[in-house]
């Protein structure tokens, strides 16, 4: 692996989806400040996650990765973080119990503040302003002042990520994730829904089994804490580069802003700056693969980012769209598998299924999400490869952003609690419902392999 490129080297590659900062000296000063700040995660933790993802790629574990499309600074509150974590942990329980495979839990949390956009600008009426690019770059308010690209916000990302991760670490190791309390992870608004009722039954069953195990005097430390990892799209070159440090154990660069960093669909050019940076860091790397991806592109990306074919290094997150996945995914999976590569295959059933509702909301249909998930399982079952995980935009709250699901959210309902600043997320109910559906497919896949 050649030396870590400098920020200047990366900018020479003409990176896409970057902010346009007015004052280069101010940016350099922020980057200097970031470089001095302590790491948010440790290299050893990234290695641990890579080992777990190696298990995913070998077909022995399943990845659950989820959280907001765009975290916000205002969203760094105890209840918001707790609700998201509870949703993810509940989903993981459903998946683990049904499929009887370990579930690797990764949040789109503690760093997901930078957004690629289809357009650089947004127009409302006769006013056109820079598009919102995530709290890392500018503010959501539709004013010139808020939409200015402000490098100081990168320090805000560090602080918000640090506060989030601190609470997450306390929650998952300090008793909150104790399986004996999983009953209470179901919140009032979920409890009476069909998925909520199923969850109650399932947790009652597990709790009885745990009580039995305890009564037998069997130690169950593993049931009291959870391993939870952070992830985000590594889009801001300034931030990601400044947070990349040389690990004193291995003398290799690690991006210490999150455990897993992924490269987005819009910035995965083979000779682009994002691939160039990520190929030099030792974290596990996710790569989004949209509907234009050919098998050759996937293979070239894998060769560039993971020349050593290290298990757990690469997670391919496919987001083809419900109507396309059955046609497009087989060739990619088949050729990558035939090349001898072992990668984790993960389904993002969100980003290929976005549309605008008749009443003007960016939304997704729960039925499309389920359809893409089913297509993903169909393809892998057919090829005999392992459907390794799910990548979901979700929230722990009772929002109305995606239509459908057991509550039959209609387009007319979207306006009541549409809170996302970017893409529509599954709400708590829809997330749990999805987990039950995925669990059923996972059982089938596991059975068909054994």
Ligand X SMILES: O=C[C@H](O)[C@H](O)COP(=O)(O)O
In the shown chain, the binding pattern of residues 420 to 439 toward ligand X, with x for contact by CB under 6 A and - for none, equals --xx----------------
265 is in an annotated binding site: yes
Cβ(260)–Cβ(315) below 8 Å: yes
268 is in an annotated binding site: no
SS3 at position 105: strand
84 is in an annotated binding site: no
Question: Environment class of residue 216 by beta-carbon count within 10 Å: exposed (0-12), middle (13-18) or buried (19+)?
Answer: exposed
- Phi/psi at 225 (nearest 5 deg)? -130, 165
Which CB sits closer to ligand PEP, 265 or 433? 265
Picked from ligand X, Mn ion, ligand PEP, none, the partner binding residue 118 (CB below 5 to 8 A depending on kind) is: ligand X
- Rounded-to-10 torsion of CA 150, 151, 156, 159: 180
Residue linked to tokens 């699901």 = 405
CB of 108 to ligand X, least distance (A): 10
The one among 107, 151, 264, 311 contacting ligand PEP by CB under 6 A: 264
In the shown chain, the binding pattern of residues 42 to 81 toward ligand PEP, with x for contact by CB under 6 A and - for none, equals ---------------------------x------------
425 is in an annotated binding site: no
417 is in an annotated binding site: no
In the shown chain, the binding pattern of residues 60 to 99 toward ligand X, with x for contact by CB under 6 A and - for none, equals ---------x------------------------------
Please give the full DSSP string across 57-78, using - where no structure is assigned: HTTS-EEEEEE-SS--STT-SH
> CA-based diameter of the chain, in Å?
71
Residue linked to tokens 């989903």 = 91
CB of 423 to Mn ion, least distance (A): 4
The Cα-based distances of 73 to 113, 156, 261 in angstroms read 8, 7, 20
The one among 319, 341, 380, 428 contacting ligand PEP by CB under 6 A: 319
Picked from Mn ion, ligand PEP, ligand X, none, the partner binding residue 56 (CB below 5 to 8 A depending on kind) is: none
CA atoms in the 13 A half-sphere facing the CB of 264:
21
Picked from Mn ion, ligand PEP, ligand X, none, the partner binding residue 319 (CB below 5 to 8 A depending on kind) is: ligand PEP
Sort strands 260-263 and 228-233 into parallel, antiparallel or unpaired.
parallel
- Phi/psi at 177 (nearest 5 deg)? -95, 10
In the shown chain, the binding pattern of residues 223 to 262 toward ligand PEP, with x for contact by CB under 6 A and - for none, equals ----------x-----------------------------
User: Does 357 participate in binding ligand X (rule CB under 6 A)?
Assistant: no
In the shown chain, the binding pattern of residues 100 to 119 toward ligand X, with x for contact by CB under 6 A and - for none, equals ---------------xxxx-
CB of 351 to Mn ion, least distance (A): 6
- Tell me 266's DSSP state: G
CB of 448 to ligand X, least distance (A): 33
Cβ atoms < 10 Å from Cβ of 416: 10
* CA dist., res. 448 & res. 382, Å (int): 10
Chain residues in the site for ligand X (CB under 6 A): 69, 115-118, 422-423
Chain residues in the site for ligand PEP (CB under 6 A): 69, 116, 233, 264-266, 288, 319, 351
């Amino acid at each position: 692996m050649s030396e870590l490129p400098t920020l200047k080297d990366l900018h020479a590659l003409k990176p896409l989806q970057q902010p346009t900062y007015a004052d280069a000296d101010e940016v350099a000063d922020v980057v200097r400040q970031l470089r001095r700040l302590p790491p948010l995660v440790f290299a050893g933790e990234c290695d641990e996650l890579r080992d777990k993802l190696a298990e995913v790629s070998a077909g022995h574990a399943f990845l659950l990765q989820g959280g907001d499309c765009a975290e916000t600074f205002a969203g760094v509150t105890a209840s918001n973080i707790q609700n998201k974590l509870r949703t993810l942990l509940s989903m993981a329980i459903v998946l683990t119990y049904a499929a009887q495979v370990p579930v690797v839990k990764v949040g789109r949390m503690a760093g997901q503040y930078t957004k690629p956009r289809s357009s650089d600008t947004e127009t409302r009426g006769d006013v056109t302003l820079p598009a919102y690019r995530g709290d890392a770059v500018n503010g959501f308010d539709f004013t010139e002042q808020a939409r200015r690209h402000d490098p100081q916000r990168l320090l805000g990302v560090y602080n918000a990520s640090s506060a989030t991760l601190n609470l997450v670490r306390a929650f998952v190791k300090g008793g909150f994730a104790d399986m004996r309390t999983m009953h209470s992870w179901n919140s009032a608004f979920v409890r009476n829904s069909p998925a909520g009722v199923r969850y109650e039954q399932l947790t009652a069953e597990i709790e009885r089994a745990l009580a039995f195990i305890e009564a037998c005097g069997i130690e169950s430390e593993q049931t009291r804490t959870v391993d939870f990892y952070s992830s985000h799209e590594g889009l801001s070159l300034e931030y990601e580069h400044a947070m990349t440090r040389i690990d004193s154990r291995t003398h290799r660069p690690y991006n210490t802003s999150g455990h897993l960093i992924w490269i987005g669909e819009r910035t995965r050019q083979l000779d682009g700056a994002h691939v160039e940076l990520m190929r030099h860091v030792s974290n596990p790397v996710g790569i989004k693969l949209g509907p234009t991806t050919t098998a050759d592109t996937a293979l070239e990306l894998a060769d560039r980012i993971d020349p050593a074919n290290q298990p757990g290094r690469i997670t391919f997150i496919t987001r083809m769209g419900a109507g396309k996945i059955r046609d497009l995914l087989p060739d990619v999976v088949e050729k990558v598998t035939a090349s001898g590569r072992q990668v984790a295959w993960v389904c993002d059933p969100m980003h290929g299924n976005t549309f605008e509702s008749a009443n003007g909301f960016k939304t997704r249909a729960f039925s499309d999400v389920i359809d893409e998930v089913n297509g993903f399982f169909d393809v892998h079952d057919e090829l005999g490869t392992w459907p390794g995980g799910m990548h979901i935009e979700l929230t722990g709250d009772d929002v109305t952003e995606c239509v459908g699901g057991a509550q039959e959210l209609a387009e007319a309902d979207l306006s009541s609690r549409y809170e996302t600043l970017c893409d529509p997320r599954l709400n708590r109910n829809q997330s749990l419902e999805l987990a039950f559906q995925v669990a059923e497919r996972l059982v089938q896949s596991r059975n068909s392999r054994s």
